[in-house]
Chain A
């Protein structure tokens, strides 16, 4: 018997501060004006997407001691923009990346619970963690957190916010005008948390929100990150959008759930994916090629090489060969505030591999970066892209994708109009929202129901 068809989950990542985003295209609009966010969110909702996703960075990136100026720079505050988007959408989930290092659990819990109330149950939190003193220079705490403690703090941070969300049962507000009883329980919201990172107590002042708790996303890929997700997250924002890598990651993470007493459908795996969509496959290939060259200018290629070499390479010609000198492997990184730096764990090996690749293919620096960098994950006609996405999901490479267009704010329009109807025709994507909350869209139970289920099972 064949497996029943899986339903695909789709989300939209607002394009932003990275070189995927092509700002130089004449169609590219503002990355800050609310109208851009509203257009993007309405398109995602028109296409019945599960949610909109916002990334975050709490300090402007630097390279060689100077603010990085080749990509889009600047973004709005996550909570504030999501609350405003709740006003121009009805169903779309609103997922924000919020750092657990440079915030306090009480405040973040208040903000997410408030967002959940104000959106009628559509909030989600992508929990990230940071430890670097560079970002810390913008905050009271400073760069205090040893790297090895970042997951322990993140886990405790998340657990603490869950305690705050759970400090209200949901039936405390009686508001009976006749009897004069507003609160059923004077102790509503009581909490005490004593741990390694937080020692807090009192009464939480936001009543239980429609989703009980916001949906929790996690984005780390390390061993600890995978365990953290398996134990505590509702979805993983993964970076494995190819079939084989996706399947390996999927199997690995889903198999970790059992030891935390969780079923495989209680954690969704959603890689970020870019795409190049055109009328025909050939046109899409050509579009993909053009976009990649827009994404990687000569200057961008040199800067990208500097992540690995950890040296000033500005004297090199991007159209010329790779540097002969070896990377500087000291800890004093030339690039600050970028996740990419950590991707190259062995810079000497990467440099060696890249030189060999460039020599074998006669690639310039720019060619090398274009060809080894982030190729669009899905390239083709609407039919090809719809088919590929469905194949990946049915083959358990993921449960769906978080799509990152390369243009703001119209980059999702064609996908919504041309690809989504094909997925709907195949019966693998919703034609309408079935419930009001993000938990409904994602097929996740309300936390109270999960607890009932666990109680019944024990």
Chain B
């Protein structure tokens, strides 16, 4: 089933913005990156714009301009805080916007991730999600010392051996999400009974062992944290090819994809919908969001000049896996309309400069979309799932025992 309601909008927050020279803009506040206030201000701005959610990038190693190794550069932002903790720190300061931190499935424990995101859901009263990511990077594996990964480049990932490696890591990520989701369901909603007459705090028949056995780990359960407010917080993932599309189709509520034109968007959506059917989820609402990097200004020449200025500072033209859009909010609204017609149900915009392009989204693009009648004028639901039109799922174990 594909959704047909109005357009959904998320913003991806990463440091001072997605352009590597973004930190040099006067609005960038690079010295505040490791403070709560910096993130609180960005998320408050996103909430002012009625966006569905923000995602927070993360990683287990220093940022690098190379995919598979550190670059030793000192002219770009390096270092970051744990994304789940940033999201949680911000949650009590916001009321409506969804909070979707990145988690790395490759080196973390699904048991810890499950209770962390469940807790984020409690702390935000139903606005939590996660963006699951893998890491094939040898230097990040060395931080854990439990597995060694051979060196790699983006080109190598396209070879059959590289694809096999990716498939294995994505299979592990799929297991990770499966465990996380089972743990969220491992308590039925009404398991806490506080029955003073019998002295029982819980009805233990409503708690369930998940008994997961997989190639990389096994997990017994149940969770130590009761089922979160949304039942199942939002699961999201980014994909650029068939292997990750399969993870999206099997396990995600929102997939992020990177088409560069409407035709590509149509093809990607078709592939994901086919995988979704193959995974037996044809009847479920699965959002497919387009990712775009944006340079937004009221004057298109100003946006282009800004991009050129940042490229000059960086010493090279900015490139991305996603389409890089440079122009006005009205032009972007046109493009989003074309992509939406091709089957995308929403967008995750990556502000090139967080301090500039995020306000341009909330104060320029959002009013433009509202004028066109394709974006909300007020938050209309209390939970992130609600904002996205996703029902609160039934508990798989309750259904099984009923």
Contacts and interface: CB of A to CB of B under 8 A. Distances in A.
Interface in B36-90: 36, 59-63, 70, 72-82, 84-86, 88-90
B112 to A, nearest CB: 7
Interface string A173-212: 1010100111111101100000000111111011100000
B88 A84 contact: yes
A298 B72 CA distance: 65
B196 interface: yes
Given A111-B85, A173-B31, A185-B74, A24 B79 contact: no
Nearest to A75: B224
Contacts of A207: 34, 79
Interface in A104-121: 104, 106-107, 110-111, 113-115, 117-120
A140 B216 contact: yes
Interface in B81-129: 81-82, 84-86, 88-93, 107-109, 111-112, 115-116, 118-120, 122-123, 125
Interface residues of A, number: 73
Nearest to B39: A118
Contacts of B75: 180-182
Contact of B194 (A24, A180, A186): A24
A115 to B, nearest CB: 6
B192 A74 contact: yes
Given A77-B116, A137-B219, A206 B144 contact: no
A189 B72 CA distance: 12
A32 B226 contact: yes
B381 interface: no
A433 interface: no
A70 B123 contact: no
B222 interface: yes
B74 A205 contact: no
Contacts of B81: 113-114, 117-118, 206
Interface string B206-236: 0100000000111111101110000000000
A189 B62 contact: yes
A83 B85 contact: yes
Interface stretch (A58-66, A213-221, A435-443): A58-66
B208 to A, nearest CB: 10
A117 B220 contact: no
B170 interface: no
A274 B142 CA distance: 45
Nearest to B222: A60
B144 A182 contact: no
Name the residue among B80, B112, B140, B226 with the largest chain A CB count within 10 angstroms.
B112
Contacts of B23: 175, 177, 182
B61 A203 contact: yes
Interface in A149-180: 173, 175, 177, 180
A103 B107 CA distance: 10
B139 interface: yes
A316 interface: no
Contact of A206 (B80, B89, B194): B80
Nearest to B110: A140
B194 A80 contact: no
B341 interface: no
Name the residue among A83, A87, A106, A203 with the largest chain B CB count within 10 angstroms.
A83
Interface of A: 23-24, 32-34, 38, 57-60, 66-67, 69-77, 79-81, 83-84, 86-88, 102-104, 106-107, 110-111, 113-115, 117-120, 137-140, 142, 173, 175, 177, 180-186, 188-189, 198-203, 205-207, 297-300
Which A-B residue pairs are the 9 nearest by beta carbons?
A137-B220, A80-B119, A83-B88, A114-B82, A175-B30, A76-B119, A77-B119, A200-B145, A183-B74
Interface of B: 23-26, 28, 30-31, 34-36, 59-63, 70, 72-82, 84-86, 88-93, 107-109, 111-112, 115-116, 118-120, 122-123, 125, 139-140, 142-146, 187, 192, 194, 196, 198-204, 207, 216-222, 224-226, 313
Given A107-B107, A120-B35, 5 more contacts: A77-B119, A80-B116, A106-B60, A182-B76, A200-B142
16 contacts: A34-B125, A70-B199, A70-B200, A74-B192, A79-B116, A83-B89, A102-B109, A102-B111, A103-B112, A110-B60, A138-B219, A173-B31, A177-B28, A182-B30, A201-B142, A201-B143
